[in-house]
Amino acid sequence: MLDAALRLAERGGFDAVQMRDVATEANVALGTVYRYFTSKERLLLEAMVEEIEALAARLEARPPVGETPAARVVEVLSRGTASLQRHPEVTGAMVRAFGAADEADVVRRVGDIMTGIITGVMHDGPPTGRDLAVARTLQQVWLSSLIGWVGGVDEPARVVVDLETATDLLLGDGEEPAR
Amino acid sequence: MLDAALRLAERGGFDAVQMRDVATEANVALGTVYRYFTSKERLLLEAMVEEIEALAARLEARPPVGETPAARVVEVLSRGTASLQRHPEVTGAMVRAFGAADEADVVRRVGDIMTGIITGVMHDGPPTGRDLAVARTLQQVWLSSLIGWVGGVDEPARVVVDLETATDLLLGDGEEPAR
DNA sequence: GCCGGAATCGGAACATGTTTCACTTTGGCG
DNA sequence: CGCCAAAGTGAAACATGTTCCGATTCCGGC
């Protein structure tokens, strides 16, 4: 069913993921879909968990090569964003579900994975408290940017720009302008 | 109609704002509601613009008194958040509309007002490029936090904590811990 | 192989956002 | 005053998420 949902999202985004169609596409009855996913948002969010876990795995498989933590963070966020933007409709559907959802647990899971992607490349060893704070902030910026992009407020490229800006500010790579 | 929507949102949040009820409550026909607001999200977003403009005005009327920009920013964000959290259902409805909306122009307006609240207290004179970057980042954190709170992922207090953290990191108030 | 319960099916029914349309009311203007 | 375009009305119809339920199928344990 998750695959079916993704297929439908691929062309048409959120609106094209209609529960009846998901059922049909998955060769299953509508009631069965609702047995496993209590709402459309949940369905899309669980798909999002899978997608973003896969993304995290891919990123981990080929770690960023930057010298500084800031460089590595930007690299991983750029690659992640690029990957998401490669399927705009799908990402759009998922992000939209995320923004509206009343499904705390899955939403939290998605956020945690995103945060993990960031902390994972900061440096060896377990992240410090500050690392976690920075990562959480970056994750929030990431999400807001995606929402802005998905909602048509910002250009696709703006997401990466925002992330670079935020990373620079948070992990200041040296030349801090006058305060 | 905006008032009617707010009244309905007050108890029951997003789901309680039903277009038929809005029409009834506003003593108007359903078609008339749709003449002025092309969707439920739009209705709520326009209400959000008004609310947040009022909030901005209140904040401007009694400016924060902190010594440093960081202190003032935290103060204004705390007060703003407190104000929003005073009517959780209403804010919930509006934030949810925000997260899902496909209404770029209004969404942008809301974001701009929020950013303006922040830049307004940084220091005298027009904001520098860096100020704008910081403010945008903070606004994104603000929104993500609100979404987290509204979605039941985080405690209400978490919003302010996140904002304090982010402000500290962005406008570092001195004692930067070891990197 | 048979049984009982769980899973699935089919499909109707319901709730609510959105659209449509023919009709009426309203307010300004020549 | 009389008229017209714009605004509003009332009600039905449609689209889609969600719920329900009786009938059917599937499966693991006896």
* pLDDT tens-digit series, residues B117-140: 999 999 888 999 999 999 999 999
CB burial class (10 A; 0-12, 13-18, 19+) of residue B172? Answer: middle
The single residue listed with the structure tokens 């909602």 is: A151
Contacts of B6 (CB under 8 A, 6+ apart): B47, B51, B90
Does residue B174 belong to the interface with chain A, where contact is any CB pair within 8 Å?
no
Q: Which nucleotide is nearest to B42 (CA to C1')?
A: C17
Q: Give, as ranges, the nucleotides of chain D with any atom within 7 Å of a protein CB.
A: 7-12, 16-22
Query: Please, what's the largest Cα pairwise distance for chain A?
Result: 63
B27 CB and strand D closer than 7 A: yes
For the ranges A127-136, A169-178, B5-14, the lowest mean pLDDT is seen at A169-178
Q: Is the pLDDT of residue B175 over 90?
A: no
CA distance A5 to chain B (A): 18
What average pLDDT does range A62-80 have in this prediction?
95
Burial A61-74 (b: 16+ CB within 10 A, else e): eeebeeeebbbbbb
| Model pLDDT, residue A92 | 97
Distance CA B17, CA B8 (A): 5
The closest of B80, B73, B91 to B138, measured between CA atoms, is B73
* Predicted local distance difference test score (pLDDT) of residue B66: 92
- Chain A residues with CB under 8 Å of B169 CB are 133-134, 137, 169-170
Q: What angle do CA B41, A137, A55 make, to 5 degrees?
A: 80
pLDDT at B169 over 70: yes
pLDDT digits (tens, 9 = 90+) for A9-45: 999 999 999 999 999 999 999 999 999 999 999 999 9
Residues 6+ apart with CB under 8 A from B129: none
Interface with A, mutate which of B153, B158, B175, B176 (most A CBs under 10 A): B153
Q: How many CB atoms are closer than 10 A to CB B176?
A: 11
DSSP string, chain A: -HHHHHHHHHTTHHHH--HHHHHHHTTS-HHHHHHH-SSHHHHHHHHHHHHHHHHHHHHHHS----SSHHHHHHHHHHHHHHHHHTSHHHHHHHHHHHHH---HHHHHHHHHHHHHHHHTTT-SSSPPHHHHHHHHHHHHHHHHHHHHHHTTSS-HHHHHHHHHHHHHHHS--S-PPP-
Tell me the chain A residues in contact with residue B177 when contact means C-beta distances shorter than 8 Å: 128, 130
Q: How far is CA B135 from CA A92, A102, B10, B59, in A?
A: 25, 28, 30, 16
The partner residue sitting opposite A133, judged by closest CB among B143, B144, B169, is B169
Confidence of residue A172 (pLDDT cuts 50, 70, 90): confident
Number of alpha carbons in the 13 Å side-chain half-sphere of residue A41: 17
Q: Tell whether the model's pLDDT for residue B37 goes beyond 60.
A: yes
- CA B30 – C1' D7 distance (Å)? 13
Among B35, B8, B111, which Cα is nearest to A145's? B111
**Cα A21 to Cα A26, B36, B92, distances in angstroms:** 8, 32, 30
Question: pLDDT tens for residues B10-35?
Answer: 989 999 999 999 999 999 999 999 99
* pLDDT given for residue B159 in this prediction: 98
Mean pLDDT of all residues in chain B? 94
- Report the pLDDT averaged over residues A149-177: 87
- Distance linking the first and last C-alpha atoms of chain B: 53
Do A36 and A96 contact (CB within 8 A), yes or no? Answer: no
pLDDT of residue A173: 55
B16: its two tokens: 């309680």
- Mean pLDDT, rounded, for B84-96: 97
Q: What is the pTM of this model?
A: 0.93
Please answer yes or no on whether A153 and B104 come within 8 Å at the CB atom.
yes
Percent of chain A at pLDDT above 90?
92
